[in-house]
Chains A and B, each alone.
Chain A
């Protein structure tokens, strides 16, 4: 890792496994929070409930991964401390997941791209040599399957739907696709865990992910845009301007009333 890279991470003293668990947890915490913003605002009641349900699953998965990260780190930080008391540059989630929720098409397409990735990633992690990580991944993988079923069916319905729904889905894909390059981004954290057979080579997951995604997008009559990919850096604590605003809302109660119980 370069000196500049170390500077930016903010997590440079973390053991690779702790860092990896934070990445898994942060992805789900941030996307779960974005999805929870739909609660009370869904386009129809069933989707309001569905999006809130998926948000709950993701928050539950985040809780599990962050709790394990805190336990292995051994500094006395539990899942709440990690969620509420880290600043923006300590969050390691993918940038795509922190973007504002947009319209329902944007939300469901982002969910689909992430679900398809989670489906493959968690499946690989279920075979991890680290027993606790393998157990949490296997459990989350079961959930990713019905999330994927839900989001892929909506992508099909809306992409191959009315002119208006197609237009919105294509706009969402044009916006989201350039961010998807970060999914398979990996560094020395991954390399070290790969050596111990704790985590897979993310690059090897890209082809099955893309095959699945292209199949659904093709059937949904959506066109993957050509063009440059976006910047990366979420894994190193570099984020868009949106994450700080989201965290301000997510963290304010815990920070205003430390240790409050209800």
Chain B
């Protein structure tokens, strides 16, 4: 796991502790992933008992972002940080490629097919080849897409033709 994306670690122990706390803050819509695993937390800087957390939004319109920021603030305050500053950055743009293999495995175990790695040709909008998503329940590749848009911005809807189970897919983005 990346401890700090940009800066030096000012207080090693403090930073470890901050990440320990941040690992307990879950995505409200996908409660098996922490905000660190999700790639939303980009950096942590500590100065005394003040902490600056740099975050990046997932989708521009994701309504969970405000909740996530509130949850991060509340958890760090409860963890003893007196001043919590949240800083938002937009570049580099968030991508599911930042999600680690263990995090992807957690998604699969939860019943959500994890994202594949984004490659350039899949982002060409027209004339794409349809990529199938393996069923998170039985592993079958014999699935089809029901809708590219699901209950949240980050997920699409699929059906498995082997085990007949509808399932969600965390979109590669």
Q: Does B30 contact A (CB under 8 A)?
A: no
Q: Is the CB of A64 closer than 8 A to any CB of chain B? A: yes
Within 8 A of B (CB), among A52-69: 53-61, 63-64
User: In the complex, which of the residues B59, B90, B92, B150 contacts A136, with contact meaning CB atoms closer than 8 Å?
Assistant: B90
Which A residues from 136 to 170 make CB contacts under 8 A with B? Answer: 136, 138-140, 142-143, 145-146, 148-150, 152
Contact for A60 among B59, B128, B147, B157, CB less than 8 A: B59
Assess whether A64 is in contact with B90, with CB atoms less than 8 Å apart: yes
- Interface of chain A: mostly helix, strand, loop or mixed: helix
Q: How many residues of A contact B (CB 8 A)?
A: 34
Q: A50-B147, A63-B60, A142-B93 are in contact. Are A57 and B153 (CB under 8 A)?
A: yes
Q: Any chain B CB within 8 A of the CB of A241?
A: no
B151 neighbours in A (Cβ, 8 Å): 49
With a cutoff of 8 Å between Cβ atoms, the chain A residues found around residue B126 in the complex are: 148-149, 152, 212, 215-216
Binary interface profile of A, 103-147, with partner B (CB < 8 Å = 1, else 0)? 000000000000000010000000000011011101110110110
Chain B residues 95-117 with CB under 8 Å of chain A are: none
Number of chain B residues close to chain A: CB under 8 A:
25
**Could you tell me if B146 and A140 are in contact, using CB atoms closer than 8 angstroms?**
no
- Chain B residues with Cβ below 8 Å from A64 are 60, 90
Contact, CB under 8 Å: B61 / A139 = no
- A254–B173 Cα distance when bound, in Å, is 34
Query: In this assembly, does B7 line the interface, its C-beta being within 8 Å of a C-beta of chain A?
Result: no
Q: Residue-by-residue, is B142-156 near A (CB-CB < 8 Å gives 1, otherwise 0)?
A: 000011111101000
Task: State A57–B90 Cα separation when bound (angstroms).
Answer: 15
Residue interface mask A228-246, B partner, CB < 8 A = 1 = 0000000000000000000
Residues in A with CB closer than 8 Å to B150 are 49
In the bound complex, what is the Cα–Cα distance between A150 and B125 (angstroms)? 9
A49 touching B147, Cβ below 8 Å: yes
In the complex, A46 has a CB within 8 A of chain B: yes
| Nearest CB on A from B81, distance (A) | 25
A214 to chain B, nearest CB (A): 12
Is the CB–CB distance between B149 and A135 below 8 Å?
no
Q: A136-B90, A142-B93 are in contact. List 20 more A-B contacts (CB 8 A).
A: A46-B146, A49-B149, A49-B151, A53-B61, A57-B59, A58-B61, A60-B57, A60-B61, A64-B60, A64-B90, A119-B125, A131-B91, A134-B91, A138-B91, A138-B93, A139-B90, A139-B91, A140-B60, A146-B148, A148-B125
25 A-B contacts (beta carbon < 8 Å): A49-B150, A54-B149, A56-B62, A56-B63, A56-B153, A57-B60, A60-B59, A60-B60, A61-B60, A135-B91, A135-B93, A138-B91, A139-B93, A140-B60, A142-B123, A142-B173, A143-B59, A148-B125, A148-B126, A149-B128, A150-B149, A152-B126, A212-B126, A215-B126, A216-B126
